[in-house]
């Protein structure tokens, strides 16, 4: 890679790598403390609720990505030519893609019905809180109106947080 093709220092690529690892562990990592353990009879109501929650979270993340349009980047640092999006799902929550991933992770916890998977979900929630803090520092630097937006719209969970 030439120096010009590299991401700028402080682009947040480390966050992207950690996020990929955490999601990989969530979906493909061990789901029980004892590899021979499992739920003999999973609760079917929780299972179906989990599938619905997983699909709902996936839809939220995809719709939020669509709303970003040309601003979409895997990196938490906004693009140089980005505009601040405050419409669509961004009227309800400042980080709807992260919210969608949290919701789908919650759904996966309901599907797996495992304490270990719930620990992964908790780790993902904490990670997105940390990642969004850094991202918001960059957004405040980039957009003069972002502080006002922070005062009006919840960060990760609509109307809650």
Report how far apart, in Å, the C-alpha atoms of 148 and of each of 63, 64, 89, 93, 139 are.
24, 20, 17, 14, 12
Q: pLDDT value at position 11?
A: 80
Sorted by where each starts, the structural domains of the chain and their CATH numbers stand as 44-161 (1.20.120.1630)
Between 99 and 42, the higher pLDDT residue: 99
CA distance 74 to 130: 16
pTM over 0.85: yes
**Per-residue confidence band for 9, with pLDDT thresholds at 50, 70 and 90:** low
- State pLDDT tens for residues 60-75: 999 999 999 999 999 9
pLDDT digits (tens, 9 = 90+) for 134-158: 999 999 999 999 999 999 999 999 9
Closest CA to 16 of 107, 114, 101: 101
pLDDT reported for residue 33: 78
Q: What is the mean pLDDT of the chain?
A: 91
Q: What is the pLDDT of residues 20-69, one digit of tens each?
A: 999 999 999 998 876 655 556 778 999 999 999 999 999 999 999 999 99
């Amino acid at each position: 890679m030439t120096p010009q093709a590299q991401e700028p220092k402080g682009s947040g690529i480390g966050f992207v790598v950690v996020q990929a690892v955490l999601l990989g562990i969530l979906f493909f990592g061990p789901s029980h403390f004892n590899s021979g353990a499992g739920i003999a009879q999973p609760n079917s109501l929780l299972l179906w609720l989990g599938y619905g929650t997983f699909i709902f979270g996936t839809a939220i993340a995809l719709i939020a990505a669509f709303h970003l349009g040309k601003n979409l980047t895997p990196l938490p640092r906004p693009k140089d030519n980005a505009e601040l999006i405050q419409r669509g799902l961004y009227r309800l929550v400042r980080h709807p893609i992260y919210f969608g991933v949290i919701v789908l992770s919650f759904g996966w916890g309901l599907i797996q019905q495992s304490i270990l998977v719930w620990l992964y979900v908790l780790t993902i929630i904490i990670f997105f809180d940390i990642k969004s803090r850094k991202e918001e520092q960059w957004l405040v630097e980039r957009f003069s109106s972002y502080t006002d937006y922070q005062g009006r719209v919840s960060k990760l969970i609509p109307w809650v947080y």
